[in-house]
Amino acid sequence: MITVIPAIDLIGGECVRLTQGDYARKTVYYKDPADAARRYADNGFHRLHLVDLDGAKAAAPATANLRVLERIATATGMDIQYGGGVKSADSLRTVFDAGASRAICGSIAVRSPELFEEWLRSFGPKRLILGADLREGKVATQGWLESSTLSAEELIERFLSAGLCQVICTDISKDGMLCGPSFDLYPALQERFPQVDITVSGGISSLDDLQKLDALQLRSVVVGKALYEGRITLNSLTQWLQNA
């Protein structure tokens, strides 16, 4: 059964969503993101996807968003995967100390692959998730503001020997668009890298999308805007997960 991971994106300590990663196209859903996290925990979700959008553009996680991480971890005890601004060993430790179970690393893996390789070996691959955010087939970095020449396959291949076992892959063109995910992209990646858990991210618009991804034997999926906009209700989602 596919694991559904609710998403909370943070700017200035608030729960927001962007459209296609555009910081100028921002909607605030919760002034206090802990309210959203408690709703998810109360409905039986054990894992949370928390993204520091301020940190993604900066050199380190934002203080206001780290405080949110601390409050959510304390209030819910959820398995939190945290991304955005994790670009040094100090920031990685800070994120773990604040309550994250796993850290998502994207820009650092592209810009300093030897360092990310070292982290995989020293912190362990169960605690580190490679973030492969794609724009027109190439990996984007720095909060999606810059592009590289690497494909997702090339980036994943780079770290297999270091034990990489978790990747979250976001199709930027679909993120926040409620248009359905890239149903061709993810099964192909999962088939090519069976030893790696590929998490689907971007474009989820309905319960039908989740059911189709489950039928394709994908292992996990991040759901954000569809929950906030009511395209998927927590009641219908929890009922499906319980009855599947």
Which of the residues are catalytic? 9, 133
- Strand 146-147 with 102-105, pairing: unpaired
What is the rounded CA–CA span in Å between residue 100 and residue 93?
Answer: 10
Do 95 and 103 contact (CB within 8 A), yes or no?
yes
Q: What SS3 state is found at 125? A: coil
Closest CA to 60 of 24, 108, 28: 108
Amino acid identity of residue 160, one-letter, is L
Distances (CA, A) of 25 to 16, 18, 139, 143, 226: 10, 6, 21, 14, 16
Closest CA to 137 of 169, 178, 105, 166: 169
What is the rounded CA–CA span in Å between residue 70 and residue 82?
Answer: 11
Look-up of token digits 């690497």: 150
